[in-house]
Structure 1
Amino acid sequence: MTLTGAPEPRQASEALLRPVRLGNAFEDTVGRLLETIKLGVLAPGDSLPPERELAVRLGVSRDTVREAIKSLAEAGYLVSRRGRYGGTFLAESLPAPTAGVVGFSRTDIDDALRLREILEVGAARLAATRTLTAAEREGLWSRMADVRCACADDYRRFDSRLHLAIAEAAGSPSLVPLVAENRMRLNALLDQIPLLRRNIAHSDEQHEAIIIAILAGDPDAAGSAMQAHVAGSAALLHGFLD
């Protein structure tokens, strides 16, 4: 099945709806669908391929496709209809940019994300090489628990506190203000996209993997877990803001 109403839809949709990275399957699926929408492969009111076809083309489960579609419907990009002529369709009117928001270029987004990768992946690896005090270990668990229990209004704040705690655990005082400054830039970007429940649940799992690896003294696992976490945020930011 092709995307209805788009010129040369098969060529365009095959180029965009390609297999995603399984480590961030949900986030990448959302990003690919948004890319397809924003590049005009879908016109307002056009239908997406069925879930089964999307799952095959993206190399993910149907549950992942379903969750991505549900999240984009809640964000106002897609509409799901039941019945004989049902399916998932691009909304007739896409969400408008938030009033008064300063636009971000692709360069701005890439710069913030690349710096984050350098700082936070390095911080996680370094923290895992240290012998942490009981207070430091307890602090990491506590910050992680705060994020898990945070309501939507508090989520960004508690998430930032956790990442700053990881930077502190790296044992380099000069690193903390650099991570803090970058988090301010990152949060300004994240505030422009919706909080997706599936992404929050996935982030919670990734946070736990990062903290467990740090406390186990495994820098490779800590770095890999943070790398995957950073990549998931990058996929959503590029999907919504590019």
Structure 2
Amino acid sequence: MFPTSNEPIRRRKLSDEVLDRLLEDIRGGALRPGDQLPPERELMTRFGVGRPAVREAMQSLASRGLITISHGERARVSEFSVTSMIDQFDTTARLLLSGSEENISHLIQARLFFETGMVRMAAARATPEDIAHLESLVDEMEQQQTGAAFIDCDMAFHHAIADMTGNPIFAATARGMLHWLKDYHAAIISFQGAEDVTLREHREIVHYLSGHDVEGAARAMGNHLTRASELYRQRLD
């Protein structure tokens, strides 16, 4: 006997069928980044559907970041990158973090785990040029007098370490995490005297990276991020 199921057979929306066909074109290379999609009327004829189904499918592609729709122009296939993929999470991430200290704490914990792992890779791969770049960023931080400029240099320092891993997924994810935590990050280093502590910790991280000391770099990064997290929690209390 064949197994039976009480699940009802659901009819798919026409727009979902159009979406799947267009996704096949993009995945298969028939539509490449930068290419214009066919006009609406041509898609309607090709798929045998009305304009609403085509437009709904196009909006779905646009919301996923796969195509760009500009007024008065035909939609184009987007350039695909890890960074653009992470950027698609931006609005959702900010909504999750807004008003939720628990979610912020979870992201802080994830960043600690992630960056201590990345700095290990960076220590193993560090070149003299990498170290010189990090030292220049720390020197620039020391010269900054305004909080916003100091924060920008601080973020650039962590971005540079992520880039040193040679893994674009790591680099894009690290940028996303730090971008989402920027408000929390600014609150930490706005404490009087915290700038000096941050500079000292950054120089210590560079010291271990320059010596290819994997464990020392991970320990220094862990201490740096843990100290920053504690300042944030103290401010909440």
Other-structure match for 2:131 = 137
Q: Residue type of the partner of 1:143?
A: L
1:13-24 correspondence to structure 2 within 5 Å:
none
Distance 1:172 1:201, change over 3 A: same
Partners of 2:189 and 2:98 in 1: CA distance: 16
Q: How does 1:1-242 map to 2 (within 5 A)?
A: 103-130=98-125, 132-151=126-145, 152-192=147-187, 195-241=190-236
Offset, 1:155: 1.1
Q: What is the CA deviation profile of residues 104-130 of structure 1, one whole-angstrom value per residue up to 9, with x for unaligned ones?
A: 322122112111112211111111112
Which residue identity does 2:104 align to in structure 1? I
Q: Give 5+ residue unaligned stretches, structure 1.
A: 1-101
Two-structure CA RMSD over aligned residues (Å):
1.8
Normalising by structure 1, report the TM-score.
Answer: 0.54
Q: Percent identity of the aligned residues?
A: 22
How many equivalent residue pairs?
140
Counterpart residue type for residue 135 of structure 1? E
1-structure distance, mates of 2:175, 2:211: 25
Once superposed, which parts of structure 1, at least 4 consecutive aligned residues long, lie more than 2 Å away? 102-106, 132-135, 190-194
Return the alpha-carbon distance in structure 2 between the equivalents of residues 113 and 184 of structure 1.
12
Normalization by structure 2: what TM-score?
0.55
8 Å contact kept, 1:129–1:217: yes
Note if contact 1:109-1:238 (Cα within 8 Å) is conserved in structure 2: no
1:197 Cα deviation from its structure 2 partner: 3.0
User: How far off is 1:142 after superposition?
Assistant: 1.2
Q: Distance in 2 between matches of 1:241 and 1:233?
A: 13
Distance 1:241 1:144 in 2: 28
RCO greater where, 1 or 2, for CA within 8 Å and sep 6 or more?
Answer: 1
Secondary structure, counterpart of 1:104 in structure 2: coil
Supply the distance in 2 between the matched residues of 1:194 and 1:143 (Cα, whole angstroms): 16
Contact kept, 8 Å, 1:104 with 1:241, in 2: the verdict is: no
Which has the higher mean CA deviation after the structures are superposed, 184-193 or 169-178? 184-193
* Structure 2: gaps (5+ residues): 1-96
Matches of 1:202 and 1:187, distance apart in 2? 18
Structure number with larger C-alpha Rg: 2
Measured in 2, the distance between the counterparts of 1:193 and 1:230 equals: 11
Structure (1 or 2) with the greater helix fraction: 2
Preserved contact between residue 188 and residue 228 of structure 2 (Cα < 8 Å): no
